């Protein structure tokens, strides 16, 4: 995360993937959030998404919303950098911070603590 704006009801994170991810090695593996919606807005480049049973690509100037309870994963759909905004609830932001802290490696438990479920590793 480059920059983060935190409010009481939502968080906006400004991220760039350098082109090192793919469908086979996603930014976030298949998971769901039981109580929280999540959205992305692509500033440049292209993101690929699996949302439920469907796959979709979202390019610059486009957005996608994943409703709570929907299994999803996402990746950079091109080999070049993709710059995007991730709009999430404070709970999802806390989940991401816990995952990235490196303090624990029991990812399924971390997801469960944040009303989410990791469906693949």
Task: Tell me the domain boundaries of the chain.
Answer: 3-118
What's the pLDDT score for residue 3? 74
Cα angle 76, 60, 73 (rounded to 5 degrees) comes to 35
Share the mean pLDDT of the chain: 94
In angstroms, what CA-CA distances link 50 with 30, 66, 87?
Answer: 8, 10, 17
The answer, yes or no, to whether residue 34 has pLDDT greater than 80, is yes
Q: Which CATH class is domain 3-118?
A: mainly beta
Cα angle 36, 37, 39 (rounded to 5 degrees) comes to 140
For CA atoms 30, 35, 86, 96, give the dihedral sign: negative
Predicted confidence (pLDDT) per residue in 93-116, tens digit? 999 999 999 898 899 999 999 999
Predicted confidence (pLDDT) per residue in 63-94, tens digit? 999 999 999 999 999 999 999 999 999 999 99
């Amino acid at each position: 995360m480059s920059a983060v704006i935190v409010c009481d009801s939502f968080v906006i994170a400004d991220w760039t993937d350098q082109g090192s991810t793919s469908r086979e090695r996603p930014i976030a593996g298949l998971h769901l959030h039981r109580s929280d919606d999540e959205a992305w807005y692509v500033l440049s480049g292209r993101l690929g998404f699996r949302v439920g049973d469907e796959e979709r690509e979202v390019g610059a100037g486009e957005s996608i919303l994943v409703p709570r309870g929907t299994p999803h994963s996402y990746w950079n759909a091109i080999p070049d950098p993709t710059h995007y905004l991730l709009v999430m609830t404070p709970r999802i932001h806390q989940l991401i911070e816990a995952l990235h802290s490196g303090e624990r490696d029991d990812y399924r438990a971390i997801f469960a603590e944040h009303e989410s479920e990791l469906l693949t590793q």
